[in-house]
Amino acid sequence: MKVTDILKKEFIISDLKAKQKEDVINELINLFTNDGRVLDIEKVRDSVLEREKIMSTGVGKGFAIPHGKTGAVNEIIAAFGKTISPIEYQSLDNKPVNLVFLLVGKDNLVSTHIKLLSRISRMMNKDDFRERLLKANSSEEIFELFKKEEENYFEV
């Protein structure tokens, strides 16, 4: 499964409004409020925020990947957002975050969830890719950047 199989333009925010970590996560989760793939938006929210309490998903280099697994979705869902003004995220490198990739997996698709987290991390670890994302001005442009970057990876 590719990242671009689950990330769609309508779930990309090119200029996040939130200024706090939890608010950013909620802004991305709220994109799924009327999505038929989500059975219970509050359980989705709880799964992601509970995971965040265990250890920050701010992995470094200005990037965070909040994620969770729950039975409250009937397939894996994803959203992406970027912010011009960096937000404090309690990241592993103690630096603020500009790029946030939300991934919510289904309880029984653990292997796929882990493979997607790994793929997203590898992509986001590339300095030039992050720079291009930061310069992008629209959800369409961001989606195309993910699509082009993903051509460098083998199928998961």
Q: What CATH number should be reported for the domain holding residue 46?
A: 3.40.930.10
Residue 109 confidence (pLDDT) = 76
Whether 87 is covered by a domain: the verdict is yes
Q: Tell me the sheet residues that pair with 81.
A: 13, 100
Catalytic positions are: 67
Cα gap 72→18, rounded to integer Å? 25
**Average pLDDT of span 94-118:** 89
Domain count across the chain: 1
Give the confidence band of 131 by pLDDT, cuts at 50, 70, 90. Answer: very high
pLDDT of 149 strictly over 80: yes
pLDDT of 91 strictly over 80: yes
Whether 53 is covered by a domain: the verdict is yes
Give the confidence band of 107 by pLDDT, cuts at 50, 70, 90. Answer: confident
| CA dihedral for 64, 65, 70, 72, sign (positive or negative) | positive
Domain that holds residue 36: 3-150
Whether 155 is covered by a domain: the verdict is no
